Amino acid sequence: MEFDFSKFNAKDRYKLLTSTVIPRPIALITTVDEQGRVNAAPYSFFNMFSEDPPTCVIGVQRRPDGRPKDTAQYIRDSGEFVVNMVDMALADAMNITAINFEPGIDELEMARLETEPSRLVKPPRIATAPVAFECKRSVTLQLSAERDIVVGEVLTMHAREGLIDPETLYLDQSKYDAVGRLYADLYCPLREIFALKRPEPQEWLADPKQPLPPKVYK
Ligand SMILES: Cc1cc2nc3c(=O)[nH]c(=O)nc-3n(C[C@H](O)[C@H](O)[C@H](O)COP(=O)(O)O)c2cc1C
Domain boundaries of the chain, sorted by first residue: 5-191
Residue nearest to atom 18 of ligand 1 (CA): 98
- Count other Cβ atoms within 10 Å, centred on residue 131: 19
Q: Is the pLDDT of residue 210 over 90?
A: yes
Alpha helix locations (H) across the chain? 10-20, 70-78, 88-97, 107-110, 201-206
Q: How far is CA 49 from CA 117, 134, 135, 158, in A?
A: 26, 16, 14, 19
> Of all residues in the chain, what percent carry a pLDDT higher than 70?
100
- Residue 191 has what pLDDT? 80
pLDDT band at 35 (very low <50, low <70, confident <90, very high): very high
Q: Is the pLDDT of residue 168 over 80?
A: yes
| Contact call for residues 18 and 29 (beta carbons, < 8 A) | no
pLDDT band at 218 (very low <50, low <70, confident <90, very high): confident
Long-range residue pairs from 110-115, CB within 8 A, at least 24 positions apart, any chain: 111/40, 113/40, 115/30, 115/38
- Residue 102 has what pLDDT? 82
Q: Is the pLDDT of residue 104 over 80?
A: no
| Contact call for residues 132 and 117 (beta carbons, < 8 A) | no
- Please state the rounded mean pLDDT for residues 177-200: 94
Ligand 1 contact via 73 beta carbon (within 6 Å): no
- Please state the rounded mean pLDDT for residues 57-86: 94
pLDDT band at 213 (very low <50, low <70, confident <90, very high): very high
Q: In a mutational test of the pocket of ligand 1, which residue from 44, 90, 148 has the highest number of ligand atoms less than 8 Å from its CB? A: 44
Higher pLDDT, 27 or 145: 27
- Residue 127 has what pLDDT? 98
- Please state the rounded mean pLDDT for residues 119-144: 97
Closest atom, ligand 1, to C-alpha of 94: 31
Alpha helix locations (H) across 21-153? 70-78, 88-97, 107-110
CATH topology of domain 5-191: Pnp Oxidase; Chain A (2.30.110)
Q: In a mutational test of the pocket of ligand 1, which residue from 11, 18, 69 has the highest number of ligand atoms less than 8 Å from its CB? A: 69
Q: Is the pLDDT of residue 160 over 90?
A: yes
pLDDT band at 100 (very low <50, low <70, confident <90, very high): confident
Q: Is the pLDDT of residue 106 over 90?
A: no
Average pLDDT of the chain, as a whole number: 95
- Residue 83 has what pLDDT? 98
* Element (DSSP H or E) covering residue 188: strand 187-189
